Structure formats: C-alpha cells, structure tokens
Amino acid sequence: MIFFRKPIEGIERPQMPADVVIVGGGPAGMACALRLAQLIDAHNAAHPESQLSKENIYVLEKAREVGQHCLSGALLDPRSMNELLPGFEKEAPLDAKVIKEAVYFFTKNGKFKFPVTPPFLRDHGNYVISLNRFVKWLGSKVEETGITIFTGFAGSELLFSDDSKEARVIGVRTDDKGVDKEGHQKSNFEPGYDLHAKVVILAEGPRGSLTKQLITKFDLDKDANPQTYGVGVKELWEVPAGRIAAGEVIYTMGWPLTTKEYGGAWIYGSPGAESNDNIVSLGFVTGLDYADPRLDPQRVLQEFKKHPFVAKLLEGGKMIRYGAKSMPYGGWWAIPPVAGNGWMILGDSAGFLNSARLKGIHLAIKSGMLAAETAFEALTKDDSSAATLSAFQKKVESSWIKEELWKVRNLHQGFEHGMFAGMFHTGLQMITGGRGLRDRYPATAGYEHMHKLDDLPADGGPEAHLLGAAKGDGKLTFNKLTDLYHSGTKHEEDQPAHLVIHDTNICNTRCVKEFGSPCQNFCPANVYEMVDDASQPNGKRISLNPSNCVHCKTCDIADPYQIITWVPPEGGGGPNYDGM
C-alpha cells in the first residue's frame, strides 16, 4: 500500500507573524521581494517618522538552494529587468547577447528555413541565460536588502480565516519534516510553521500546488478558459568548439511531431568554461494535449536529436544536464483573477507566459514588481483586503503584460484541431491584432484530448516513433534513467509519496486497460510504474518511485482521470538544476 503525504493533524505548530509571505523564489517571487524592498527603503528615507520594516517579509523556496529548481530555455527579454534594476547587465550572469536567429520546419530527414523570422521569434536584444544562475543572483540581491529567504521550506497549505467562500487567506503552513513512509513521526520530526501573514503572494511557477488549492476553493477559474500546458524536456550539451556561436538561437517546428501534436524545439548556444562557444541548450516542448496516451515527451526529445541537423551539431559532444518542467500555454483567457482577500498570484502560477515567444521570465518579473507595489500600498494603509489588493489586477490590465499577451490571446486555442488549422488561425490573428475569427477562442483542457487505446491504431500509426520508452544509444540518445541521473535529483527516501493518487483502484482497474497507464509515459523521470500483481484484475498494480520526481507537474496536469495531485515533498528535495 502506498501512503500519501498529508498534513499531520492535531499537533502543535510554531506560529510566526509575517507582513508578507512570498511562496516560491523563482523570477516572479524574487522580483517581487526586491521591488518591495526598494519601495520600503525609499519610503523609509522619505518618512523617518513612519518607518516600515523588512524583517517580517519572507520568501519560501522549496529547493535546498535558491535557483536549484529553476529550469528554463532560456532567453531573457530584458524589458522588466531594465525597470527593476536599471544597468543590471553590468553585474547579472548573462551568457551571451543574441546575435543570430533562424526558424526551421523539420521533416524526418530534411528541413526548410523560414525566409523571414516571424516577428514574435525575433530575439535581437535578448540574452541567453541559465535561469538557475540568474535566479541565484537575483536571490543574492534580495538577501542584500535584508529580506529573509527560507530555502528548503515548501508552502504546503494555505491558511484561511474560515471555510466560507468569502474567507480571507491568512497565512501559509510550511512542510512537516521528518515524517516516515507510513506517515509516522521520526526522531527528527519538525512540524511545519504556521506563518500568519497580512499578504500571501503565490509565485510557485506552473501548476502551483497552493495556487491550485486557492483556485479550487474559490472557483477562480469559473470564467476563464481551462489552463493548457506544455512540458519542456531539456538537455544541456558540451560540444566541440565552432558548432554554434554563443548567442545563436534556433527554433524548429514539425518533425518528430506529426501535424496532430502541438510543440517545437529550441537550440541556444552559449559559452562554456573551456571555450566561448561550446555549450548547447536544447529541448523540446510537447503540448500536453496530445491524443495518444503512449506518447512520451522524453522520447520526443530523443527522436528530435536523431534529425541529421541536430545529430551533426551534437556529434562528439557530451550531455551534461537534464531536466523537465511544464509551462502554461493558455494565454490571456486562461488567467484566473489574480488578487483577492489577502492574496495575489504571480508569474507562471497565474499563467503570464507568452507561448508564441516561448517566454515568461520577463512577464513573471513584471508581475512580481506590480504585486510588490500593491503589497506596499497594503502595508502602508494597513489594509490587505480584496479592495486594496485588487489594485494588482488593475495594474496588470493597464501594464505591458496585458498589451503583450492580448496580441496572442487566441494563439494556442487556434491549434486545438492540429497544425494546419493552427497556422491558418495564427496568420489571421497576426493581421487582426490577435483576434482571428472571434474575440475569445474557446479551449479544452489538455487531458480531455487523450484518446482511449481502443480508438487508436495498435501499431501507433504515424506517431509510432513517439510512443513508449526511448531505448537510447548512450551517445546521442538516452533512456529516461540515464537522463534522470543528469538532473541531480535527490529526496529524503523515507517519506510519504508526494504524488497523491486519490483512487489507486482507477489506476489498477480502469486506466491500465483504457489508456495503458499513460503516467509511465508522460512522466519524464520514471516515477510511475505498473508492476506485476496477480491479485489485481489486470495483473498490474501502480507503484511509485517518488524520489525520482523532478517537480515538472506533468502528472498533475495530464492524467486523464485527474486523480493525481502533486504536493511538495519534504523541503530541500528535488532536482539540482545547476546551470540549467
């Protein structure tokens, strides 16, 4: 039997008062903390008689070190950083300025270069960065201001004033530490803290676990399109010098995907320790709205690398890091209300990502800045009710966040019926300022696109090369466990499973037969396994390896029965995305 993680009831917990608690120390959370510190410093300098303190402002980050769970492409659009820290280029870890872009359409062995780079993929002026290093640096700027970052602490529950729909968010409970596999307290048990905060700011990245609690409790998504996602599987390679210039950017569409799946790849060049042009960041984002439950996004990346153009680029090189993470694709219409009684939602947790540009870092930072301005107003007025915090919603709507996202508001929905329809709608949307055929295109949650095995060709048809586990040749392509080894993932082994399956009977009786247990395929870290068990009706039983989890959230998103909830494991566990 699997014991799933849940907060321990009926114990005494340390209570801690706070002014602001920011959950998640990614670009959004760090930018929020930094901007808040700037505003408080400016206020204190101008008003010696009414000083505000930064002592009770906290950032909670589940990773053991700042930036360890941050994975991105990544190209940084510097727009918001120029607003947050003018002149940041002089000291931020930026790998290279973009000097060259190309967009290709791949067929199995060939390629067509777009004669003109579409406007949304023009990257001159942007920087190639490692988000991990960039966030570490942002974190050091936050710490310099005197704001405390609690690393190794996950927000595990939201605290509400009461059970009603009008309740106020009054704080955050952190993870219980030292709980064994069966849920018993070990000798090193430490209960989570109850942080009672005037303002709780959720900056947990895509499919945030507290954000999900909040959205569910208040039905926040009732008027929004369902959020849709992609999962990006990334490898970092060291290649012989001279293959790709630092600052060279390549996007590809097409193969190995067929016209039915949504997604594409990136290849960015950056300098390494030994040469100024020998590191390649490459990855494939697969839309989590594919039809065939046997499709495996990690395999999609392996197939992509077999393309002659990519294989030649990587030949003689070495894969040095691996990781995976989801991203919200749904755009403007999928964003829920972002502020209420005691709370605000930022960055990817809200869905501020421009999927046409594959960019969200600059939007996450900008949303953090606007939330900080709102939190500052709440602190000075000593009022963090919905009336005050709803200013954040208005600030977003009158900022360049909306301006940018409005132009691509229908982009992903246009691809709901495949690539050809998508290209038609994209063209139309480009000439109508994002509108296309109607102002708001509807969307379907990605998991609803998954078909049952009986409705699919047994041999996989045109998708056959994307289905099932990649074997890997150990040089250019890898199986999942080899890739996973390069993610540096580690967890405390003796703890309850943090992939909470609400009804394992569905896995063992229905899912295995109807969908062939897609969790085994969509999880990029081999967490889910169907093991032999003669006592089960189909001879198989679900088994978990939670220690492998890279926190990508794909299972929470893509499971066709929506019975998996990802909750944070004991703080400190997870991938180690150094340099990613």
Ligand X SMILES: Cc1cc2nc3c(=O)[nH]c(=O)nc-3n(C[C@H](O)[C@H](O)[C@H](O)COP(=O)(O)OP(=O)(O)OC[C@H]3O[C@@H](n4cnc5c(N)ncnc54)[C@H](O)[C@@H]3O)c2cc1C
Binding site for ligand SF4 (CB under 6 A): 499, 523-525, 527, 549-555, 566
Burial of 24 (0-12, 13-18, 19+ CB in 10 A): buried
Token pair listed for 378:
């709440």
Q: Name the phi and psi angles at 40, rounded to 5.
A: -65, -40
Site track 144-183 with ligand X (rule: CB under 6 A), x = hit: ----------xx----------------------------
What is 37-59 written as a DSSP string?
HHHHHHHHHH-TTS---STTEEE
- Note whether 354 and 328 are within 8 A (CB): no
- Note whether 575 and 489 are within 8 A (CB): yes
Instruction: Provide CB contacts within 8 A for 294, sequence distance 6+.
Output: 453, 456, 460, 467, 468, 516, 518, 521
Give CA–CA dist 489/550, Å, rounded.
7
340 binds, among ligand SF4, ligand X, none (CB under 5 to 8 A by kind): none
Taking the complex as a whole, the smallest distance from the CB of residue 123 to ligand X amounts, in Å, to 9
Chosen residue from 4, 20, 21, 29 binding ligand X by CB under 6 A = 29
Chosen residue from 169, 313, 327, 511 binding ligand X by CB under 6 A = 327
Q: If you search the block for the tokens 């780079």, which residue do you land on?
A: 117
| Region binding ligand X by CB under 6 A among candidate stretches 57-65, 253-261, 312-320, 531-539 | 57-65
What is 335-387 written as a DSSP string?
----EETTEEE-HHHHT--BTTTTB-HHHHHHHHHHHHHHHHHHHHHT--SHH
Q: Is 28 in the site for ligand X (CB under 6 A)?
A: yes
Taking the complex as a whole, the smallest distance from the CB of residue 536 to ligand X amounts, in Å, to 34
Give CA–CA dist 362/352, Å, rounded.
9
Taking the complex as a whole, the smallest distance from the CB of residue 580 to ligand SF4 amounts, in Å, to 15
| Region binding ligand X by CB under 6 A among candidate stretches 26-34, 217-225, 437-445, 448-456 | 26-34
Q: Is 546 in the site for ligand X (CB under 6 A)?
A: no
Taking the complex as a whole, the smallest distance from the CB of residue 254 to ligand X amounts, in Å, to 18
Q: Note the Cα 221 to chain centre separation in Å.
A: 19
Chosen residue from 18, 21, 22, 23 binding ligand X by CB under 6 A = 23
Chosen residue from 22, 26, 524, 528 binding ligand X by CB under 6 A = 26
Closest CA to 298 of 323, 317, 327: 323
| Region binding ligand X by CB under 6 A among candidate stretches 56-64, 87-95, 385-393, 504-512 | 56-64
Closest CA to 25 of 173, 205, 164: 205
154 binds, among ligand X, ligand SF4, none (CB under 5 to 8 A by kind): ligand X
Size of the site for ligand X (CB under 6 A): 43
Q: Positive or negative, the Cα torsion across 447, 448, 454, 459? A: negative
61 binds, among ligand SF4, ligand X, none (CB under 5 to 8 A by kind): ligand X
- Decide whether 171 or 524 has the Cβ nearer to ligand SF4: 524
* Coil, helix or strand at residue 478: coil
| Region binding ligand X by CB under 6 A among candidate stretches 18-26, 252-260, 331-339, 527-535 | 18-26
Residues 272, 315, 274: CA angle, nearest 5 degrees: 20
348 binds, among ligand SF4, ligand X, none (CB under 5 to 8 A by kind): ligand X
525 binds, among ligand X, ligand SF4, none (CB under 5 to 8 A by kind): ligand SF4
283 binds, among ligand SF4, ligand X, none (CB under 5 to 8 A by kind): ligand X
Token pair listed for 463:
């998708």
Taking the complex as a whole, the smallest distance from the CB of residue 69 to ligand X amounts, in Å, to 3
| Region binding ligand X by CB under 6 A among candidate stretches 59-67, 162-170, 292-300, 488-496 | 59-67
Q: Is 212 in the site for ligand X (CB under 6 A)?
A: no
- Decide whether 213 or 388 has the Cβ nearer to ligand X: 213
Element (H, E) at 269: strand 263-270
Q: Is 336 in the site for ligand X (CB under 6 A)?
A: no
Residue type, 229: Y
Site track 238-267 with ligand X (rule: CB under 6 A), x = hit: ------------------------------
- Decide whether 297 or 436 has the Cβ nearer to ligand SF4: 297
Helix ranges (H only) for 432-579 are: 480-485, 504-505, 512-514, 519-522, 554-558
Helix ranges (H only) for 131-179 are: 131-144
Closest CA to 229 of 348, 406, 397, 62: 348
- Decide whether 395 or 553 has the Cβ nearer to ligand SF4: 553
Residues of this chain that bind ligand X (CB under 6 A) = 23-29, 60-63, 69-70, 72-75, 131, 154-155, 203-205, 208-210, 232, 234, 283, 285, 325, 327, 347-349, 353, 358-362, 364, 568
